[in-house]
Structure 1
Amino acid sequence: MGPDINALTGFLATGGPALWAIAALSVLTLTLILWKLWQLTRLGAWQSAAAEAAVAAMVARPQARPNARDIRSRFVASALGAQDLPDTLAREEVTRLALRALTEIRTGLRPLELIATIAPLIGLLGTVLGMIEAFQALETSGGQADPSVLAGGIWEALLTTAAGMAVAIPAAVALSWFEGIAERVQTDFEDMATRLFTHASGVKAAA
């Protein structure tokens, strides 16, 4: 364990403060992704069958109510509860409920977006600073610096750019996936709300 820690510390020291910052971002990225997976699983973001069945049952039997606790079923139950309000107020209430649920499901996406944006920039900054140091050393030596030493300084500088990309790419992929899930939930909300209001309008017109 000791040699591994020393090797990791030496590797991070090679890239300077920028690499330390990127390492911290990598830990934060992994934590956010794992937490977001847990949250989406808890909310039932991949479950839509129960809510679809609830809408179909409500259309067939107006007194039906969903029993499942996934995010779509909870939205349907809340939307059904708003049906007793006047039409305009009911639509406003359903919109409010949908926005509240979507805000919950999008929690944590902004930090991932920020990491995907700044990680490459931090890596580029580290590279620029490393290149400056390498050429300063070349100037100090009067142009007689050992090429191998100069090359070593350059690859150490480029290391931070590679590390920044290595953190930004998974963050961007996870962000895109999570946003896609949120968009599917939003589409389902809109579809279910439209079907419920269409049915309610038909019932009121028939009455």
Structure 2
Amino acid sequence: MSDAQALLAGRRSIRASLVLSAMTAHRDPTLDQPGAEAETGRVAKALLTKARAGLRPLELIATIAPLLGLLGTVLGMIAAFQALQDAGSRADPATLAGGIWEALLTTAAGMAVAIPASMALTWFESVADRLRHELEDAATRIFLRPVAKDTPQPENALRAVE
């Protein structure tokens, strides 16, 4: 194991994990260049999948919250109009307005949940996209600069993971 690999083994970041995996695959005598690149790609996909795991629930919240708010609005409007129908000719517009106000409150609540969830989802997706590009770059740099099996890694190879 090279000094660079030993240094990376102690780190827990996604970037360090990928670079260590790429360096290990690159030095593995049982793997040819395409095999080492395929193994690095497999590890990168697994790391990115793990990093994006929490985004699905956030996406679901951002999608479903306005729909739940709209459902509450529709149900509230139905109740308000039923109350208006039951009142018949002695209908009080204040009763109808109060029912509509309550119904629209659910839409506002749904949007109050969906808007920040959607903003957070967009931000986290941009972080994951940037991470994917950085992982691709780090792996490419490792495979473009072949290193002899017994020579230590240059210091600038470690800059990709910091």
SS of 1:141's equivalent in the other structure is helix
Asked if 1:76 is matched to 2:19, the reply is yes
Q: Give, in whole Å, the separation in 2 of the partners of 1:96 and 1:155.
A: 54
Gaps of 5+ in 2: 150-162
The alignment status of 1:194 with 2:140, answered yes or no, reads yes
SS in 1 for 2:145: helix
Q: Normalising by the residue count of structure 2, what TM-score does the alignment of the two structures yield? A: 0.82
Deviates more, 1:182-191 or 1:69-78: 69-78
Letter aligned with residue 66 of structure 2: P
Q: Determine whether 1:118 maps to 2:64.
A: yes
1:141 is displaced (CA, Å) by 1.3
143 and 94 in structure 1: CA distance in 2 versus 1, 3 angstrom threshold:
farther
In the alignment, what sits opposite 1:102?
48
C-alpha distance in 2, partners of 1:190/1:117? 31
Name the count of aligned residue pairs: 142
Deviations 1:49-75 (CA, angstroms, capped at 9, x unpaired): xxxxxxxxxxxxx76324333210121
**2: CA distance between counterparts of 1:104 and 1:133?**
45
Give 1:169's aligned amino acid: I
CA distance in 2, matches of 1:157, 1:113: 25
The structure, 1 or 2, with the larger RCO (C-alpha pairs under 8 Å, 6+ apart) is: 2
CA distance in structure 1 between the aligned counterparts of 2:55 and 2:94, rounded to whole angstroms:
44
Aligned twin of 1:88: 34
1:145 CA displacement: 1.5
Deviations 1:160-183 (A, max 9, x none): 000000011111111111111111
Distance 1:79 1:107 in 2: 23
Q: C-alpha distance in 1, partners of 2:4/2:68?
A: 55
Counterpart code for 1:103: T
Counterpart-to-counterpart distance in 1, 2:33 and 2:99: 69
1:64 aligns with 2:10: no
CA RMSD of aligned residues (A): 1.7
Moved over 6 A (4+): none
User: Distance in 1 between the 2:24 and 2:95 partners?
Assistant: 72
Identity rate, percent: 61
| Partner Cα separation in structure 2 for residue 87 and residue 163 of structure 1 | 55
Gaps of 5+ in 1: 1-61
Q: What secondary structure is seen at the aligned counterpart in 2 of 1:188?
A: helix
Structure 2 Cα separation of the partners of residues 162 and 63 of structure 1: 57
TM (norm. structure 1) is 0.65
